[in-house]
């Protein structure tokens, strides 16, 4: 998770070895917790 967080903070893409397992920036975004968006 540290590598994913660092990439997101820098605005860089997630490392390939993480996206290979289906991890996406949207999965880690605080917006995923906002119940007002559908």
pLDDT classification of 38: cutoffs 50, 70, 90: low
**pLDDT for res 4:** 93
pLDDT in tens, 7-37: 999 999 999 999 999 999 999 888 888 888 6
Q: What is the residue whose two structure tokens read 């990439």? A: 7
Sign of CA dihedral 26, 28, 9, 24: negative
Contact 25, 8 (CB under 8 A): yes
Query: Is the pTM higher than 0.75?
Result: no
């Amino acid at each position: 998770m540290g590598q994913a967080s660092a990439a997101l903070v820098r605005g860089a893409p997630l490392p390939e070895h993480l996206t290979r397992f289906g991890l996406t920036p949207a999965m880690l975004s605080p917006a995923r917790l906002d119940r007002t968006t559908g």
